[in-house]
Structures are given as C-alpha cells and as structure tokens.
Amino acid sequence: MLPTLNVTGSMLLVERISTRTGKLRPGDVVIFRSPEAPRKIVCKRLIGLEGDQITYVVDPQSGDRCETIVVPKGHVWVEGDYIYNTKDSRNFGALPYGLLEGRAFWTLLPRKDFGPLTPKPE
C-alpha cells in the first residue's frame, strides 16, 4: 500500500460504521478478512462496488494488458496502491462484502504520517 502506508508498519484508526451501514465509496481504504487465509486481516483500497465496471492491469510487471470485468452482486473490488507488489482482487477475484471488517480513515503512526488517509495518489 505504498506510498499511502509505511512498509515497516502503520497504525491506523478503523471505523466499522461505514461497512455496517453500507456507506463505502471507491477510494476508501478498507480492511478485510483474507479470502485465502481466514485468520489474516488485509488492508487495501476499495476500487469498485457491486455493479461497477473495473478495468485493471493484469500484471504490471509484464506489460500493459488490461482486462475489464463487472463486479458481481454482493462483492467489491480492492487493489493495493503499489500495484507492482500486491495481492489483491487481481489475484483472488472480487471480494465478498461480508469479509469487510472496517474502513481505515486515520493514520496514528508513524508520527510523520499522522493525519487522515489520502485519496489514491495518481
């Protein structure tokens, strides 16, 4: 999630109200239970909600081939900010909404990053 989060560790404040009420928007940083390792909590950025059409680069290290999909009902699409080294929806597919745990909205540590989480850098 570079450059948004720190490689060696960030402490984030997470709220669960947006996920429970369904008021998430693309661009939010969310945490969720990994679909491949159910005891692991993962942090990525929400790119698309159900019904959205997503165009993504399949493998940034091996060219620019893109694919377009529509996010199925009850699912969301998440991607890491650092697309060259991330396991996200491009690997495990659309994420069922029920696996979302919360929305990260504030960085506590490291001190230099203290403040609200920024939208995805272009």
Which positions from 77 through 116 interact with other proteins, judged by CB under 8 A? 96-99
Site string for other proteins, 1-40 (x = CB under 8 A): --------------------------------xxxxxx--
**Residue 57: C-alpha distances to residues 41, 53, 60, 89, 115 (Å):** 24, 14, 6, 11, 30
- Segment lying near other proteins (by CB under 8 A), choices 8-16, 59-67, 73-81, 109-117: 73-81
Distance CA 17, CA 1 (A): 23
- Kindly tell me which of 36 and 122 has the beta carbon lying closer to other proteins: 36
Q: Which amino acid is at 21?
A: T
* Count of alpha carbons within 13 angstroms of residue 13, beta-carbon side: 9
Which residues are near other proteins by CB under 8 A? 33-38, 72-75, 96-99
